[in-house]
Structure 1
Amino acid sequence: MTATIVKQPVPAASRLHRATPGAHFHDSYRMALASDPRSALQLYLDTVTRTPAWVDRMMALRNAVVSRIGLKDLGALGGFDRAKPASAYRPGDRIGIFELLHVSDDEVVLGDSDRHLDVQVSVCREGGGLSMSTVVHVHRPLGHV
C-alpha cells in the first residue's frame, strides 16, 4: 500500500515556517506516519540511504558542471557514514550534500549556503504525520539558474 502524500504550507511547527517570508521558493509535503519510534533524523537517514543510483549520477554530473564555474562540489545525497548512529550527529556535521543545522526528536533541519543561494530542508514529525519542507533564498542571478 502506498502512502498518500499531500502538498501543504510549511507547517507552523517547523523551524522553516519563519523562513518562508521573502523566500524565492518554498514547498512542503506531508504523509501520515503510523507510530514510529525513529527520530526525524533517523527517518531522513533511512530515506537517503535508499537514494536511487540515477540521482547520484545526476549529482555527479551537477558537481562536474558547476565546479567549472566556481561552485562547490556537494558530493552525493547519500554520501555519509552509514555506520554512524543518528544520535552521534551534531549541528555543523555534514550529512551527504547538507550540513546539519538543527536536530531534535521531532525535526531535523539540513541546509547548504553559498554566495548565490541558501537552501534549507526540514523533516518534521507533527500531529501524526511527517512533513518534508524546502525553503530557498536566492542572493544573486546565478541562484536562479
Structure 2
Amino acid sequence: MSKIIVEEVALPVDSVLKESLERVDYVDAYRIPWPEGVEKDVVALIDGLFTSAPAWTTALTEFRNRVVPYFGIKVPESNSQMRAADFDFTPGSKGSFFRVYEREEDEIVVGDDDRHLNFRISFMLDREESNSLKQEDAKVWAVVSTAVQFHNWLGKAYFLPVRPFHRRMVPAMLKSLASKSRVKKA
C-alpha cells in the first residue's frame, strides 16, 4: 500500500471559491488523489470527510464549540457528527451552521457569515485534462479549500490560534478519508 500524501496547493483556477467573498484575507487548499472506492461525486467527498474524520479533530471541534460562544461566536446547534444528509446542497440552504453558497457539478461551497469574519469551504473534484479520449483516464483530485474574510480585530484574534489547528485538521481529514476508503475496498 502506498503512502497517502496530502499536498498543499494553490486554489484551483476554476474554483468558484474565489468569487464567494468580497475580499479574501486568508486562503489555503489541500488535495489528495481521488480515493479509491469513493464515488466521484462532490457530495460523496463531503460525506466521506465528515464521517471519517480522526477522533482528535472531532474532539478539538467540540472543545472549540464549548469555548467560543463566550466571545459571541456562533457554533452548530448540535455536536453530532455531520453527514451529507444534513444538507440538500441547494444554494441558500443550511445544515448545522453551514450555509450552502455555491453548487456546481464538481464543487460545493459552504460557510457562514458572522460579525467578526466570513468563511467559505470548498469541496471540489479537480479533474486534470487527459490526452486520452477516455474521460476515466483523467487524474481526479479531491480538493478542500478554505477562504476567510476578517471584519475586525476579533476575527483576526479568533483565527490566530485556529489557523495552526486548521492547517493540521484539513490534511488529517483528507488522509483519514483516503485511508478508510482503501480499507472499505479491501
TM-score tier, shorter chain, comes to: 0.7 to 0.9
Write out aligned runs for 1:102-141 (5 A). 102-126=102-126, 127=128, 128-141=140-153
- Does the CA contact (< 8 Å) of 2:33 and 2:142 recur in 1? yes
**Greater percentage in strand:** 1
Gaps of 5+ in 1: none
Greater mean deviation of Cα atoms: 57-66 or 7-16: 57-66
- Aligned-residue identity in percent: 25
2:82 alignment partner in structure 1: 79
3-state DSSP class of the match of 2:73? coil
TM-score computed with the length of structure 2 as normaliser:
0.64
2:98 alignment partner in structure 1: 98
Segments ≥4 residues shifted beyond 6 Å: none
Aligned pair partner of 1:142 in 154, 162, 177: 154
**In structure 1, C-alpha distance between the alignment counterparts of 2:52 and 2:96, rounded to whole Å:** 13
**Greater percentage in helix:** 2
Q: CA deviation at 1:34?
A: 6.4
Greater mean deviation of Cα atoms: 29-38 or 116-125: 29-38
Gaps of 5+ in 2: 129-139, 158-186
Q: Does the alignment pair 1:24 with 2:36?
A: no
Q: CA deviation at 1:60?
A: 2.5
What letter matches 2:73 in structure 1?
L
Greater mean deviation of Cα atoms: 9-18 or 32-41: 32-41
**In structure 1, C-alpha distance between the alignment counterparts of 2:86 and 2:21, rounded to whole Å:** 31
**Bigger Rg, structure 1 or 2:** 2
1:65 alignment partner in structure 2: 67
- Does the CA contact (< 8 Å) of 1:116 and 1:143 recur in 2? yes
TM-score computed with the length of structure 1 as normaliser:
0.79
Q: CA deviation at 1:125?
A: 1.1
